[in-house]
Amino acid sequence: MKLLFAGDVMGRSGRRVVLEQIPKLRKKWGLDFVVVNGENAAGGLGITEKICHGFFDAGVDCITSGNHIWAQREIIPFLDEEPRLLRPLNYPEGVPGHGVYSTKAADGRRVVIINALGRVFMQAIDDPFRAVEAMLEAWPLGEKAALLLIDMHAEATSEKMAMGQFADGRATLVVGSHSHIPTADAQILPKGTAYQTDAGMCGDYNSVIGMEVDEPVHRFLYGVGRERFSPALGEATFCGVLVESDDETGLAKAVTPIRIGGRLQENLPK
């Protein structure tokens, strides 16, 4: 199977490049499943129901998120209504929404998407490792799941790498999100799980992690803000990770970082 994960969609420019690229890439690469992290899609903070429907209509199968999922208050009831929109799995019991999406691809094979949130340098919530372990036990790869993805939304590279090693051999892909910068460590781990510490963002890289430059620089210089951050609106780069899995085991056969358009050097599968 072929799975494409697109990193954090940043504001209007990020939405534009995702809506432009996903339909073309689905057809060109024969993708079986597409996942997008959408937690910054609405003005750089959160997501709305309208944006979700736009992504679904473009060919996105599942939207993951992170700590900013709560920023747009209107999305909270939608989290209970729409199983294809995830919030991190390891929020406490009783929080709206779902952290796992289990469905069937067009050919009938089971796909499981897990969204987890790190705790290092972030809000302290429930343990992501034990939460993920329960899902890996519930959906064993190669038995109940033909494809299993973990989006590890975290600040610390060490925590993301630890999740990759923790799930090695039990997931098709463990990929980090949140940092907005694509890392150069795409690999297949020893037991067969594809891994990349951060997929990067779908957004304008002439920015400070997707925001217009002036206000972040001012805050670093003076320690106080003058105004709200605003998403950069220049040409976006589509950043993500493409994985091809083994049909029998569900483990990765190939992993390729994807960069299309904008300011970053292009990278496509050979």
Domains located in the chain, CATH noted: 2-260 (3.60.21.10)
pLDDT of residue 172: 98
* pTM (predicted TM-score): 0.97
H/E stretch holding 53 reads helix 49-58
Q: Is the dihedral of CA 150, 116, 106, 260 positive or negative?
A: negative
Strands 194-196 and 187-188: antiparallel
Percentage of the chain with pLDDT > 70?
100
Beta strands in 18-135 (DSSP E): 33-37, 62-64, 100-104, 110-117
Q: What's the distance, CA 25 to chain centroid? A: 17
DSSP per residue, 132-155: HHHHHHHS-BTTTBSEEEEEEE-S
| pLDDT, tens digit, 9 for 90 and up, residues 138-175 | 999 999 999 999 999 999 999 999 999 999 999 999 99
| pLDDT, tens digit, 9 for 90 and up, residues 33-45 | 999 999 999 999 9
Angle between helices 49-58 and 11-29 (to 10 degrees): 20
pLDDT of residue 124: 86
H/E stretch holding 8 reads strand 8-9
Token pair 């019991």 is found at 93
**Out of 68, 153, 178, 180, which one is annotated catalytic?**
68
Average model confidence (pLDDT) for the chain?
Answer: 97
Instruction: Please answer whether residues 169 and 251 qualify as being in contact, where contact means their C-beta atoms are separated by less than 8 angstroms.
Output: yes
Q: Is the dihedral of CA 9, 15, 21, 26 positive or negative?
A: positive
Beta strands in 38-99 (DSSP E): 62-64
| pLDDT, tens digit, 9 for 90 and up, residues 105-114 | 999 999 999 9
What confidence tier does 50 reach under pLDDT thresholds 50, 70, 90? very high
Active site (annotated) includes residue 68: yes
H/E stretch holding 167 reads helix 157-167
What confidence tier does 270 reach under pLDDT thresholds 50, 70, 90? confident
Partnered with residue 117 across adjacent β-strands are 153
| pLDDT, tens digit, 9 for 90 and up, residues 188-227 | 999 999 999 999 999 999 999 999 999 999 999 999 999 9
Percentage of the chain with pLDDT > 90?
99
